[in-house]
Amino acid sequence: MTDLYDAIHRRRDVRGQFTGAPIPAPTLDRVLSAAHAAPSVGLSQPWDFILVRDAGVRATFHAHVQQERDTFAATLAPDAAERFRPIKIDGILESTLSVVVTYDPTRGSPAVLGRHAIADAGLYSACLAIQNLWLAATAEGLGVGWVSFYREDFLRGLLGIPAGVRPVAWLCVGPVTHLEATPDLERHGWRRRRPLTEAIHEERWTPAPPA
Amino acid sequence: MTDLYDAIHRRRDVRGQFTGAPIPAPTLDRVLSAAHAAPSVGLSQPWDFILVRDAGVRATFHAHVQQERDTFAATLAPDAAERFRPIKIDGILESTLSVVVTYDPTRGSPAVLGRHAIADAGLYSACLAIQNLWLAATAEGLGVGWVSFYREDFLRGLLGIPAGVRPVAWLCVGPVTHLEATPDLERHGWRRRRPLTEAIHEERWTPAPPA
């Protein structure tokens, strides 16, 4: 039994602590079942999970991510570029498994209950599944790292994902040596966490206090 | 202590079981703290939470949702319209509290680490916060119902949300008599859940088996 709040507050976006050790099949099944138990607009369950273990495919993706990292670095002011340099952005090669989560807008179409006014509602559902996966993995002693330095079309081509289906996340998953107490980006001085009180508004939107 | 998997699998999208009983302040604080502990692209934490208790504001929103319900119903084939008719789509008036979750793309701009290639990555972060909130609420004995029958501009106007900030969800939150074992839409014959095995692909996308 794992405490929900413990999983929520210990969870980290992992880049550097993967061991590469195997994930027992029943563990992976519990984690994917948790993802699949997420809520979805109109009960459409528009997600799919592609499990990528192949080293060659992962190396190809990793090279693409490195390119995108350079593209991003080139947009930064010198001081930001300096802070970005030591930050590791992925664990694609070191993690045991990659799970690519996709969104299929045709699932349950044409009449997806609850999606007529908000086209993105199906995309939101896929994200809810990702958070369930992430918390279950944390509870199981696994780390998860979300890689978003990629072009969706590149990933479609790499994994044979049809044109109408959208890749939402590349998740690195696997056993880790430990979870850091402080998020990587905060440890590296990239950005500080915001106090919860600033995010809460009573009854109506209230502008942020002057910085 | 509440088991993570218990919360994940008992969680429901609640429409009809709200009691309207008060939510103790420490409980609400734990639930919102859970939401705020979600991962976010570039540690941008782009979400805000507007707590709506005012009965007049909720009644106005409810009337708008009813209109959108009619708009959706008019698009349905006769047999689907018949199945849709008895399905309650919201608990706006009966729930204790409404929590409107928004996404602010300017938070942490211009250089949000991890968002240069995928503009929607910040929107995804707001959804991860919603799932944390939902699970924590479930663990605390509260129900959550996500209302998506609304126009974003209407909700902006109603709550004074700035043009650049996007409403992502209207969540009805509060104590409930019980959580249903089967999702409402399945109980009402709208749609059945998909087996997990159909959502899993090994190494590459595999087309669905013929229906």
Mutation pick from A134, A142, A194 vs chain B, by most beta carbons of B within 10 Å, is: A194
Determine phi and psi for B153, rounding to 5 degrees.
Answer: -65, -35
User: Chain B partners of A45 at a C-beta cutoff of 8 Å?
Assistant: 193-194, 199
Q: Which residues of chain A register pLDDT less than 50?
A: none
Q: Which residue has the tokens 């949000």?
A: B112
Check CB contact under 8 Å for A39 and B202: no
Low-confidence ranges of chain B (pLDDT < 50): none
Closest CA relative to residue A8, chosen from B35, B145, B59: B35
* Pair B172, B91: CB distance under 8 Å: yes
The answer to whether the CB of B120 falls within 8 A of the CB of A123 is yes
Q: What is the reported pLDDT for B210?
A: 66
For residues B108 and B45, give the distance between their C-alpha atoms in angstroms, rounded to a whole number: 8
The per-residue pLDDT for A162 is 97
Contact between A54 and B26 (Cβ < 8 Å): no
- Residues from chain B that touch A148, judged by Cβ atoms under 8 A, are 41, 114-115, 117-118, 121
- This complex has an ipTM of 0.96
Closest CA–CA distance from residue B105 to any residue of chain A (Å) = 14
Q: Where are the alpha helices (DSSP H) in chain A?
A: 4-10, 25-36, 55-73, 78-84, 121-139, 152-159, 184-187, 196-199
pLDDT at position B114, please?
A: 86
Burial class of A163 by CB neighbour count within 10 A (0 to 12, 13 to 18, 19+)? exposed
Q: Which residues in A lie closer than 8 A to residue B82 (C-beta atoms)?
A: none
Residue-wise pLDDT tens digits, B91-106: 999 999 999 999 999 9
What is the C-alpha separation between A170 and A27, in angstroms, rounded? 19
Local structure of residue B179 (DSSP, 8 states): -
Look at residue A208 in the predicted model and tell me its pLDDT. Answer: 77
Contact A193, B43 (CB under 8 A): yes
The pTM assigned to this predicted structure is 0.96
What is the token pair recorded at A210? 């002057």
Please write the tens of the pLDDT for every residue from B161-185.
Answer: 999 999 999 999 999 999 999 999 9
Nearest to B124 by CA among A126, A115, A51: A126
